[in-house]
Amino acid sequence: MFESTVKKLYKKNGYYLFHEPVFSSENFKELKSIFEVLNEENKNNDYDLMDVPHFRDERLLTFLMNDHVLDLVESFIGPNIGLWSSHFISKEPLIGKATPWHEDSAYWEGRFDRMDGIVTIWLALDRSDKENGCMKVIPETHNNGFSEYEDVDQSENIFQNQIIGVEENKAVYFELNPNECSFHEGRIIHGAEANKSIRRRAGYTMRYFSQEMKFNKDNPSNKIHKIWHCRGENIHLNPVEN
């Protein structure tokens, strides 16, 4: 019942909020401690240091390959699951920049033969709410994935451009407690406001793809990117790590 209901809501809206603990208390504490060390090292707010940290720290694969996590992912994209990427995010108190409206798929164009089978888990490491700049989405905008963009002031924004003409009055805010998560489709329009509060907003994104999608081996960005086989069949013989 859970799987069918969730899949129906996700297919319609392009997202799903999971207000239950994702990991055990002990495992969540361990994951957060890995993040805290990395965040402390990241004095210059270097995006690359926080991107795909599981390439450098294999301990993170324990969390990314967690059976409960994969059971949840299977509810959205089916049983043939690959690990696409992960990323630590930290919006520091008072200075955390806004994340402009965007689609993840716009940054991944050409890396798969299609874009409808990617799901992102946004795991809250801190309490995430409107006050400290939680993620927000525009429901039912996941059927395209390649909107028109315009430049924005990068001194106030994480990215240098944003989608034009977003109906912001339709935004849904993802307010989460630590160890809760959201799921969103790779093509949905989403963003986040600046963190003007005195509380940090940290999270861990864990991204998975259906192995019914074909990884484009000839794409230049893919030549230096590793993907993992999580469960099910590798239908297209994608070049996965095991």
pLDDT of amino acid 14: 97
Of the pLDDT bands very low, low, confident and very high (cuts 50, 70, 90), residue 47 is confident
Helix (H) / strand (E) element for 47: namely: helix 47-50
Q: Quick one: average pLDDT of 30-53?
A: 91
Q: pTM of the entire structure? A: 0.95
User: What does the chain come to in residues?
Assistant: 242
pLDDT of amino acid 232: 98
Q: State how far the Cα of 130 lies from the Cα of 140, in Å rounded to an integer.
A: 21
| Range(s) of the domain holding residue 34 | 2-241
Looking at the structure of the chain, the number of domains it has is 1
CATH code assigned at 203: 2.60.120.620
Q: State how far the Cα of 218 lies from the Cα of 173, in Å rounded to an integer.
A: 37
- Kindly list the distances between the CA atom of residue 139 and the CA atoms of 51, 158, 170, 196, in Å, as whole numbers in the listed order: 26, 22, 7, 25
Of the pLDDT bands very low, low, confident and very high (cuts 50, 70, 90), residue 1 is very low
36 contact partners, CB below 8 Å, separation of at least 6: none
pLDDT of amino acid 194: 94
What pLDDT digit, counting tens, does each position of 155-212 carry? 888 888 999 999 999 999 999 999 999 999 999 999 999 999 999 999 999 999 999 9
Going across the sheet that includes 118-124, the strands are 15-18, 181-185, 118-124, 201-210, 81-91, 227-231, 240-241
